[in-house]
Amino acid sequence: MVELAESIPRRLRVAALGRGARGAVTWDLALAAVLAVASFVPQLAGNGLSLGELTRRQGDLWAVVLTLGQCLPLSVRRRWPAWCLALVAGCFAAYQCLGYRSDFAGVGVFAALYSAGAHVGADRSRRGLIAAVTAGYLTLAIALHHLGSPERPLDYCTFYIALLACWGGGAWVRGRQALEAARRREDARLAISRERARIAWELHDVVTHHVTAIVVQADTAQLLVSGAPDRAVESLTAISGTGRRALAELRHLLGVLETPADGVGRPEADRDGPGAGRAPALDRFRDLVERTRLAGQPVELSEDGEPTPLAAGTELAAYRVVQETLTNAVKHAPGRRTVVRVRYGEEIHIEVTTDGPVVAEGAFTAGRGLTGLHERVSSCGGELAAGGRPGGGFSVRARIPSGAGL
């Protein structure tokens, strides 16, 4: 069941990553194509990028090749950002040194630097790449100076700062994406932890209650076999019924865990709303009390008001409060008088008291069951308190808003 809880978000992440990767490739191909076409539009040449100002050569086949070399590698800028930067920067440097006229393709070096900052993986690789870019840029600046470029040292420094700004912008985006990915992983971890806790609560409530009843009824049957065989048969019949109910609730729980998020394929027992099938419901308090009586525990039930339709979580929380407290009464105070009081209204008030000796101050510690109940009731906006009574015995009190979760 835990594997099921973990596999669902994993499948969703894999599907989302597949769709995102296809979309990214499409956008990169579109960027490379648009930049390549724009590079051959004469009106955009004046908006291009020129570093050496060595315009002394007419366009030819090599100019076309170098122009495309500054554009087309951008189609793989996310998948192979370092290779994309190397190709674009190399073609840009050759284009500037050969003295071709300015064109729009030079913008590609900024896009390639941004992509390298955003998508190069390890820190060591990024440091090595920025060192290579710096060394290459110094080599280009020296070469342009020897070729007679009119650019001043300040112009080269300004251009280098612009290159670093593009790299830094990509690195900043990468950092934001890393933080967002870490946040999503933490959210997924917390969601899985909450689901594990919910499964643990349900299994504890279902299994502990029914197994406790079976054990008590089996012990009673052993005592009655020789002296009162008719009553022993009744105990065995109660054991059979309790076991079947436990299996039914476990099947319902497994069906809930296997239900897709959209509800398609829900078990028939749960399609008519909470409590319609095997799910516990408030109108089963009497059945729950009756089964506890069969286990030999004297239980009284008092209900005030009329039950109203509730959200599934609220209804289940109220049921589990009574179920868990009756289970504890059977385990820790067998044969003691237990009273269940339920008052319906805008809030559901539940009080379960069990007779017994005075509980010494500090002697009570909440176990897994009561801890799970407290968290379950709190998640519905309610409150739960448990402890010894001044006159002796033990009590559990719960207040749950009727409209919680609607």
Is pLDDT at 367 greater than 60 in this prediction?
A: yes
Q: How confident is the model at residue 272 (pLDDT cuts 50, 70, 90)?
A: very low
pTM of the model: 0.51
The pLDDT tens digits for 170-180 are: 889 888 988 89
Task: Determine the Cα–Cα distance for residues 158 and 24; give it in Å rounded to an integer.
Answer: 32
Full DSSP string of 281-324: -GGGHHHHHHHHHHTT--EEEEEES------HHHHHHHHHHHHH
CA atoms within 13 A on the CB side of 262: 2
Mean pLDDT of 266-290: 55
Mean pLDDT of 384-395: 83
Q: What pLDDT is stored for residue 365 in this prediction?
A: 59
Q: How confident is the model at residue 203 (pLDDT cuts 50, 70, 90)?
A: confident
Handedness of CA 264, 266, 268, 274 (dihedral sign): negative
More confident residue, 258 or 211: 211
Task: Determine the Cα–Cα distance for residues 116 and 77; give it in Å rounded to an integer.
Answer: 8
Q: What pLDDT is stored for residue 269 in this prediction?
A: 39
Q: How confident is the model at residue 127 (pLDDT cuts 50, 70, 90)?
A: confident
Q: How confident is the model at residue 258 (pLDDT cuts 50, 70, 90)?
A: low
Q: How confident is the model at residue 5 (pLDDT cuts 50, 70, 90)?
A: very low
Q: How confident is the model at residue 88 (pLDDT cuts 50, 70, 90)?
A: very high
